[in-house]
Chains A and B, each alone.
Chain A
Amino acid sequence: EIVLTQSPGTLSLSPGERATLSCRASQSVTSTYLAWYQQKPGQAPRLLIYGASSRATGIPDRFSGSGSGTDFTLTISRLEPEDFAVYYCQHRGSSFGGGTKVEFK
């Protein structure tokens, strides 16, 4: 079973700053199986990135994904107020990482 570890647990940033979120797999995974989601309080998760680097429909280009093997990254180039949320990575349509909360500094 693949275990996904996300870091940091919490990221304290200001609007306009760059956010870099990490997702590390317990063993090498196929990059096409790696997805990222955003979840805001009281809402269902929303798909951001799939295949490690492809943006889902309607996702702004300030969101980008990269990585391969065991190390994957979600980058938000310039944080907008609506981006403060919890972010999860997921492998192959099953296991999720523990999440990274992006909060206002």
Chain B
Amino acid sequence: EVQLVESGGGLVQPGGSLRLSCAGSGFILSSYWMNWVRQAPGKGLEWVANIKPDGSERWYVDSVKGRFTISRDNAKSSLSLQMNNLRAEDTALYYCATDPGGYYPRFEYWGQGTPVTVSS
């Protein structure tokens, strides 16, 4: 059974940092693009970042460029999101999701999310 389990969320002050993790099991993580998607309270889905299977490419939504860094450890079947200089507008539930990429990109598997609250 495919499982994605996020962790590392919590309450942080504006300007602070947080590192999210996503542990994958039941599939070969190294075969997939991996993504972070967030959802602010009562709002829609927002793609945040992704990383190529071998880690050689990383892409970010404009609003987090220079502040967030996505990384992966295929040997440990894990994905991370380092979030620095956090803002109130980064408050959201953060999901990790798999994407086989190629000609039919799609987010097949999702975790249950980890909440991040940025507030003083």
Contact = CB atoms under 8 A, between A and B. Distances in A.
A96 interface: yes
A46, A50, A94, A97: most-surrounded residue (chain B CB, <10 A): A94
Interface residues of B, number: 23
Given A93-B50, A93-B101, A98 B108 contact: no
A44 B47 contact: no
Contacts of B61: 94
A33 to B, nearest CB: 6
Nearest to A1: B62
B77 to A, nearest CB: 19
Given A37-B107, A44-B95, A45-B110, A88 B45 contact: yes
Given A93-B99, A94-B50, A50 B106 contact: yes
27 contacts: A37-B45, A39-B45, A44-B110, A45-B110, A47-B106, A47-B108, A50-B105, A50-B106, A51-B103, A51-B104, A56-B106, A86-B44, A88-B44, A92-B105, A93-B35, A93-B50, A93-B99, A93-B101, A93-B107, A94-B47, A94-B50, A94-B59, A94-B61, A96-B37, A96-B45, A98-B44, A99-B44
Interface in A5-63: 32-33, 35, 37, 39, 44-47, 50-51, 54, 56
B33 interface: yes
Interface in B25-73: 33, 35, 37, 44-47, 50, 59, 61
Interface in A75-105: 86, 88, 90, 92-99
Nearest to B48: A94
A70 B106 CA distance: 18
Nearest to A52: B104
A46, A93, A94, A96: most-surrounded residue (chain B CB, <10 A): A93
Interface of A: 32-33, 35, 37, 39, 44-47, 50-51, 54, 56, 86, 88, 90, 92-99
Contacts of B59: 94
Interface string B82-120: 000000000000010001010111111011110000000
